[in-house]
């Protein structure tokens, strides 16, 4: 393992800037007072948002700086495109802004440059998704970031442009953590925006990582959008030290069901710069998903898919998905993605070095596994004991 510097957005001295919204800070303080700063409830929030000294240790050869390299740079008519990606037949992706209300330490977005699309760029993207190259296939646009609800005006701009220029799009998905980071932003204007475009289906993807995040204000803000006909679904990482226990996941999925939030993906924590301490092994994830989905502790309608975000897209994980393992703790995963499909849908696409194509044209991808050392003693670094005082100091402040 080599120590290296991250190329991170909003970084100070090579580290992802710590950013905790006032709402979250209040919840941290309240949770610390109510349950104690060593409680699982407190640590579930603190470990998501408070900088950990282990973030400085980066395995530059094996960790990742981006989700996928699937940007589309040029539209069919030669126009320059920015902030759009395409990996899949039915779904196009628009990265509206990389700004967020709080910085989740485990999120790859922290390593993207801070950027926001202009209204003109949004229009170009919408026109591209409605162009002959896309209109027979693309049915959904995922508006993501960062957190798009940081800029409601731009979200509304995107919805209006898509409505006008890409009538083939029936579903608009938006990724946000505003419910648990700043629920007051789900205000009347936000609700009115969704009500105005009732001809579209809106789905909001959020990340509940732990049961403690179902605060009353959070639930109320979701309910406002659900009343406006917005479907909310959850996809979240398996985070060592936060939610990597059956009891926590049972409770989380029971709460999701109770609040009409659809369960979507449970992700294996993605390999990213400085985040090894949050990553379990894939095998541990498979053990948990096997028990979770047959525990009987919550409704069967709330069972998630266990998946990895690999360099070539999301891959559902089963024992048989793993073809082999290397000495460098990497596993080769079989996927159903075909390279010829990918390049047809996105002519800018180049397969990453970690991908191989099998005899039938399907891609396989090498994926860095995690490990099952306990969260508190995960290696390597020598300053680990400093972590506990750091968390305790924040709890006191
Ligand atoms: S999970 Fe969402 S809110 Fe958190 S850092 Fe990533 S993009 Fe921002």
**What is the residue extent of each domain of the chain?**
11-324
Asked if 20 and 28 count as a contact pair (C-beta separation under 8 A), the reply is yes
Residue 207, ligand 1, Cβ within 6 A: yes
Shortest-distance atom of ligand 1 to CA 176 = 2
Give the distance (Å) from ligand 1 centre to CA of residue 190.
19
Nearest Cα residue to 349 out of 89, 26, 47: 89
What's the CA gap between 394 and 397, in Å, rounded?
Answer: 5
Nearest Cα residue to 315 out of 81, 87, 138, 25: 87
Pocket test for ligand 1, best of 107, 174, 204 (most atoms within 8 A of CB): 107
What's the CA gap between 336 and 319, in Å, rounded?
Answer: 15
Asked if 181 and 23 count as a contact pair (C-beta separation under 8 A), the reply is yes
List per-residue pLDDT tens for the chain, 397 residues long. Answer: 333 333 343 444 456 889 999 999 999 999 999 999 999 999 999 999 999 988 887 766 655 555 556 676 676 567 778 999 999 999 999 999 999 999 999 898 777 777 899 999 999 999 999 999 999 999 999 999 899 999 999 999 999 999 999 999 999 999 999 999 999 999 999 999 999 999 999 999 999 999 999 999 999 999 999 999 999 999 999 999 999 999 999 999 999 999 999 999 999 999 887 888 999 999 999 999 999 999 999 999 999 999 999 999 999 999 999 999 999 999 999 999 999 999 999 998 999 999 999 999 999 999 999 999 998 854 443 443 333 333 333 333 3
**Residue that the structure tokens 């925006």 belong to:** 193
Pairing of β 313-316 and β 305-310: antiparallel
Run of H or E including 248:
helix 246-258
Shortest-distance atom of ligand 1 to CA 145 = 7
What's the CA gap between 71 and 68, in Å, rounded?
Answer: 8
Query: Going by C-beta distance under 8 Å and a sequence separation of 6 or more, which residues neighbour residue 81?
Result: 72, 73, 74, 75, 121, 124, 125, 128
Give the distance (Å) from ligand 1 centre to CA of residue 166.
27
Residue 100, ligand 1, Cβ within 6 A: yes
Q: Which CATH class is domain 11-324?
A: alpha beta
Residue 182, ligand 1, Cβ within 6 A: no
Q: How many CB atoms lie within 10 A of CB 373?
A: 15
Residue 146, ligand 1, Cβ within 6 A: yes
Shortest-distance atom of ligand 1 to CA 110 = 5
Asked if 234 and 262 count as a contact pair (C-beta separation under 8 A), the reply is yes
Give the distance (Å) from ligand 1 centre to CA of residue 19.
11
């Amino acid at each position: 393992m080599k120590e290296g510097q991250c190329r991170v957005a909003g970084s100070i001295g090579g580290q992802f800037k710590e950013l905790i919204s006032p709402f979250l800070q209040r919840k941290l303080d309240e949770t610390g007072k109510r349950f104690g700063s060593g409680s699982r409830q407190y640590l579930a929030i603190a470990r998501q948002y408070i900088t950990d000294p282990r973030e400085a240790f980066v395995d530059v050869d094996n960790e990742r700086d981006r989700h996928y390299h699937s940007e589309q740079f040029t539209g069919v008519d030669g126009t320059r495109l920015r902030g759009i990606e395409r990996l899949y037949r039915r779904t196009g992706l628009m990265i509206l802004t990389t700004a967020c209300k709080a910085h989740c330490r485990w999120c790859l977005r922290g390593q993207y440059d801070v950027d926001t699309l202009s209204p003109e760029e949004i229009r170009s993207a919408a026109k591209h998704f409605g162009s002959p190259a896309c209109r027979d296939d693309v049915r959904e646009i995922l508006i993501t970031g960062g957190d798009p609800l940081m800029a409601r005006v731009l979200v509304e701009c995107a919805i209006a442009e898509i409505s006008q220029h890409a009538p083939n799009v029936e579903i608009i998905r938006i990724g946000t953590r505003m419910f648990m980071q700043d629920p007051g932003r789900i205000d009347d204007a936000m609700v009115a925006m969704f009500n105005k475009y009732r001809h579209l289906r809106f789905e909001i993807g959020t990340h509940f990582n732990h049961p403690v995040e179902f605060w009353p204000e959070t639930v109320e803000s979701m309910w406002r959008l659900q009343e406006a006909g917005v479907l909310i679904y959850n996809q979240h990482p398996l985070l060592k030290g936060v939610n990597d226990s059956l009891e926590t996941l049972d409770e989380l999925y029971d709460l999701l069901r109770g609040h009409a939030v659809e369960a979507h993906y449970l992700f294996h924590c993605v390999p990213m710069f400085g985040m090894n301490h949050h990553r379990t092994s894939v095998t541990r994830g498979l053990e948990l998903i096997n028990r979770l989905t047959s525990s009987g502790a919550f409704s069967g309608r709330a069972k998630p898919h266990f998946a990895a975000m690999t360099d070539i897209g999301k891959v559902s994980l089963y024992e048989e998905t793993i073809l082999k393992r290397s000495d460098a703790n990497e596993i080769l995963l079989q996927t159903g993605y075909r390279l010829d499909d990918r390049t047809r849908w996105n002519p800018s696409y180049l397969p990453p070095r970690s991908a191989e194509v099998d005899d039938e044209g399907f891609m396989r991808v090498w994926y860095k596994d995690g490990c099952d050392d306990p969260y508190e003693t995960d290696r390597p670094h020598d300053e680990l004991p400093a972590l506990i005082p750091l968390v305790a100091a924040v709890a006191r402040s």
